[in-house]
Amino acid sequence: MSETHDEIRDGVLERFTRTAVAPQQEEKFPVGPDSAKALGYGAREIDSLPPAVTESFCGVGNPIGLGELQPGETVLDLGSGAGLDSVLAAREVGLAGKVVGVDMTEAMVDKARRNAKSVGLDNVEFVHSGIDAIPMEDESIDVVISNGVLNLCPDKPKVLREAFRVLRPGGRLQLADVLLHDDVTPEEVAEKSTWSD
């Protein structure tokens, strides 16, 4: 099973490296600023950002919209991609707060770092890591957000255990993701192209 997990991971890495470097070539799922607006992000805020901040957005909802972030809070963005949610969260928590984005795709982390710098944010950082072993202290986070990521993780309980480990008592988990209601066979689950295509 772990070999299958490695194959799934490689497929996901390849897929999102492409979304980081060539988002305009994406044909299979919606990416970019128009998708963000369709999912409920404020059009004025999206349009005010440099194109590089929004062009590789590939979320499936709006996790920040699920609960208001408060100034001073510490936010963790699991699978932060090119950093749109992290950038928006960093603006909401302000200089007394902090946002950490974690992503396993190096091209996404590089782009997110450039994006945060381009909009002048000092209260957000990006870490290159898998989210099934989050390099953070227990009970150190007020709000965990994530957008379109859990569905790509073969071991979802492990990721959720990690999310709850780093959350402070009373912290919030604000997830946007895709759910399949139909039955799937073990063969379909093992087929990596259904994860990364």
| Binding positions for ligand SAM, rule: CB under 6 A | 12, 16, 57-59, 79-81, 84-85, 103-105, 108, 130-132, 147-149, 152-153
Closest CB to ligand SAM among residues 94, 130: 130
Least distance in angstroms from the C-beta of 149 to ligand SAM: 4
The beta strands (E) that lie in 96-161 are given as 98-103, 124-128, 141-147
- The closest alpha carbon to 49, from 75, 21, 86, belongs to 86
Least distance in angstroms from the C-beta of 160 to ligand SAM: 12
Closest CB to ligand SAM among residues 79, 171: 79
Closest CB to ligand SAM among residues 11, 169: 11
As a whole number of angstroms, the distance between CA 180 and CA 146 comes to 18
Closest CB to ligand SAM among residues 21, 96: 21
Close Cβ partners of 174 (under 8 Å, ≥ 6 residues apart): 63, 64, 66, 67, 143, 144, 145, 146
Closest CB to ligand SAM among residues 84, 167: 84
Least distance in angstroms from the C-beta of 192 to ligand SAM: 13
- Taking phi over 0 as left and psi of -120 to 50 as alpha, with beta for the rest, 139 belongs to left
Least distance in angstroms from the C-beta of 140 to ligand SAM: 18
Least distance in angstroms from the C-beta of 76 to ligand SAM: 12
As a whole number of angstroms, the distance between CA 194 and CA 125 comes to 31
Closest CB to ligand SAM among residues 116, 169: 116
Least distance in angstroms from the C-beta of 158 to ligand SAM: 9
